[in-house]
Chain A
């Protein structure tokens, strides 16, 4: 085969057509997403200077004590602690993880029965109407939706004024500025992201398997545990990840529901990147957060694989 034939075979090939077609979108994502993420990773091991980042390798933004450089290039007399050494960052990281995990558990557990109902108990022709009803509240302003929970839960808010009006409580309940309030708000905000993947997985289950289970003497409940649940695990995993990963970086809820008093990891990233102008430290915190979330996600996928293996 001559070189020319090889070349013309490549230009006309499926691989080339596919790559050519995807290239605008791929280039956009590489330039505006992959490159910035790589830069963040690089910055996290560089040295903080005055309004600039100095390409001097070090790991102190992660562990240990770090020194910024002053405007004249000399090291600053003050030190700061790296992301993993600083007790405040540690506490915020743990709080963010705690909130994310609670939100994920609450959202997915509450969503599963809803997805199950729509998939198994609703007539096929009306399923998309139900899904439409479920998604409608979520296409309205996110900021307003979060703020509405403040309206409901504040000291003079809807829930307190109703309960007081009915004489159930005499003192208003303290609901905003608590972690629980943030969890409820986020569980509400992410509900459709949990319902839809589980619904899709449930829809794919061959209904004859369920009949087979019951013919073989299983009750409805054990059929659910031994057939439906394992088969829908792909959807559960998708919803766990799609809720868990973004909630850890939520910025609006800590400000509007936590009143800025219960900051989460996104708030400290903002503070370091912008107000404190310490981009290496801000980058290191961002990378650390993603690393922790990534590790937990992988661990979760591994445990799920073991669970599904145990089923067989």
Chain B
């Protein structure tokens, strides 16, 4: 019998990928401030702690505000760009799309510092608003990537049919195209939300010191006694992201089924 080397390798690689997030819940329930084996017994103390942490709640509140607004804005901006680049040919489309997609490869540090220096020099006070400005910049390329494939899989004859039946360009978009790409928009919203929630560098440098989830976590990790709390918080976050991602995947598949094209996999 042939040994399935590649399959074994891939499974080993998956184990490498999953190890950190599998270890997370183990120590979230471990009754010791030291994050090490052997385990000391079961406790829900760390979950109790995070449920009663006022600063964490403020950070969570701020993060939800920032991520909701950022994801709506970046999905909207992403829709404009994805529709323009898939439907129309126009001069400058390459460089403009390149600039819009640039934050995907540009180190976040450079994006954050460049924006920070400009904001400071024109005298804008750092706040949640400046964090949102940065997050939209970072999330938009991902929205564009998702929405481009959504718009590309549209059948152009549907749009032509609407035109033939007397609909104008705006009503065609609202009545025909928008419902068809809606699953793509929802998945762009969810992905942007997740990226924004997770963003650390931009949040750290464009913020005023008001805690957000990622900066709160980073701050707590400096103190060993708070580490188990973060393990518990991380466990909750992993659970929430898996639910959000499963939803995103569900909508993406439904979108593909709606437009009748083939599933080519992946978010990106």
Q: Which A residues contact B (CB, under 8 angstroms)?
A: 14-19, 21-26, 28-30, 32-37, 39-40, 43, 53, 110, 113-114, 116-118, 121, 127-128, 131-137, 139-145, 147-149, 151-152, 156-158, 160-162, 165, 188, 191-192, 196, 199-200, 203, 241-242, 245-252, 256, 266, 269-270, 273-274, 279, 282-283, 286, 289-290
Contacts and interface: CB of A to CB of B under 8 A. Distances in A.
A200 B266 CA distance: 9
Contacts of A162: 37
Contacts of A33: 99, 102-103, 111, 114-115, 137
Contacts of A14: 88-90
12 contacts: A19-B90, A114-B13, A116-B6, A136-B242, A137-B20, A143-B218, A144-B237, A147-B221, A152-B19, A247-B107, A274-B205, A289-B110
Given A21-B84, A40-B114, A121-B7, A28 B230 contact: no
B154 interface: no
A25 B77 contact: yes
A136 B77 contact: no
Given A113-B6, A241-B105, A140 B117 contact: no
A136 B6 contact: no
Contacts of A139: 194, 198, 241, 244-245
Given A33-B103, A199-B266, 17 more contacts: A15-B88, A18-B85, A19-B84, A24-B76, A25-B78, A33-B114, A36-B114, A36-B118, A53-B121, A114-B10, A134-B14, A142-B198, A151-B227, A156-B36, A158-B37, A274-B205, A289-B110
Contacts of A266: 107, 109
Nearest to A37: B114
Contacts of A283: 117
Given A139-B241, A273-B113, A203 B19 contact: no
A133 B14 contact: yes
B266 A22 contact: no
B64 interface: no
Given A53-B121, A114-B13, A251-B109, A196 B268 contact: yes
Nearest to B93: A18
Interface in B5-23: 6-7, 9-10, 13-14, 16-21, 23
A36 B117 contact: yes
A22 B85 contact: yes
Given A134-B14, A135-B266, A144 B80 contact: no
B265 A18 contact: no
Contact of B81 (A22, A113, A248): A22
Given A43-B117, A151-B27, A158-B37, A245 B107 contact: yes
B100 A148 contact: no
Contacts of B174: none
Contact of A290 (B7, B84, B110): B110
Contact of B265 (A16, A127, A256): A127
Nearest to B197: A141
B263 interface: yes
A161 B36 contact: yes
Contacts of A116: 6
Contacts of A142: 198, 200, 214
Contacts of B18: 137
Nearest to A148: B20
B168 interface: no
B210 interface: no
Nearest to B101: A29
Contacts of A286: 109-110, 113-114
A209 to B, nearest CB: 19
B116 A188 contact: no
A81 B96 CA distance: 37
A65 B142 CA distance: 42
A259 to B, nearest CB: 11
A29 B121 CA distance: 19
B85 A191 contact: no
Contacts of A19: 84, 90-92
A131 B14 contact: no
Given A139-B194, A142-B200, A149-B20, A32 B107 contact: no
Given A188-B17, A251-B201, A252-B200, A32 B266 contact: no
B157 interface: no
Interface in B114-141: 114-118, 121, 133-134, 136-137, 140
A117 B36 CA distance: 35
B263 A128 contact: yes
B88 A128 contact: no
B37 A161 contact: yes
Contact of B116 (A17, A160, A273): A273
Given A110-B13, A188-B20, A203-B264, A147 B104 contact: no
B9 A137 contact: no
A103 B227 CA distance: 27
B83 A21 contact: yes
